[in-house]
Structure 1
Amino acid sequence: MSNDHEVLVDKEKRNDLKVKEERKEGEPTPAFKGASWAALLVGVASYLIGLFNATMELNEKGFYFAVLVFGLYSAISLQKAVRDKDEGVPVTTIYYGLSWFALIVSISLMAIGLYNAGSVVLSEKGFFGMAFVLSLFAAITVQKNIRDTQRAREKG
């Protein structure tokens, strides 16, 4: 009899622990967080591996690397500015406008660079474009997940 009681108490303790480990309201699921990080890593790693293996000049590789870094930063910056504005956090008009401008410039530089890249075959151009877009989208999603998790834990 005592043994059954101990088993019930042990199950209740495990159930209490599970309740404490549950995610907070508004927090993304661990699967979504993992998928976002995986997409970011796959996108950036694919882009960089493709860039490393490309037969273009070193200055061209530097250009495409800089465009990736610029694009990632501008996408995250714009996402933060848009979210801050939506949540009533003060965002200056100049910062909001510059965030949009920077993202548009980075995407334009990538598109113009790939269009004019004579030494890059069409399939490689598509590869770089898709890896770039995946990286930008994943960076925005990772930043959003971090912010949602932080906000959910502050409320909880």
Structure 2
Amino acid sequence: MPYFILYGMDLVRMGYKWIDLIQIYSLNLLLIPVNLAGVFMSINQAITGKQIPFSRTPKVIGRTSMPSLYIVAEFSLLAQLLFGFITNYMYRNWIYSIYNLGNAILLGYAIFKFIGLRSCWEDILLSINRPPEDTVSHWVEQRVAIDLEGAKDLQER
């Protein structure tokens, strides 16, 4: 709790409102699977000694596509929080049930606000189907080739 009070005070000093702390907390919940994946990849790299290759994230018009594993992880975390709420509520553990419900609501908000339900569905379908790149060219952003020599000539004029 003191961490979030200090975090909120810093936000207020920078011109934000205290309510923005809720969005930051929900974003932190949303990033749990990504952080865990990074930790597991680092452990794998430490054990094997092999550097993990950087793979490009497929671009979809207007946004970056998410691997379906992360989407499944987000909804699994949401389901676990809801299950924790129900279980703790049934056993009359009021503090834990409120904690689980609050986190579930904030994670659901983050999924809806920052990712979007339609985008989740599209990314899962895209990961499952994996069609050839030329058949989804209307989904993929066009690549732009920059001619630096031509730009240099334009600057000199």
User: Structure 2-normalised TM-score?
Assistant: 0.33
**Which one has more relative contact order, counting CA pairs under 8 Å at least 6 apart?**
1
User: Structure 1-normalised TM-score?
Assistant: 0.33
When Rg is computed on C-alpha atoms for both structures, the one with the higher figure is: 1
Greater fraction helix: 1
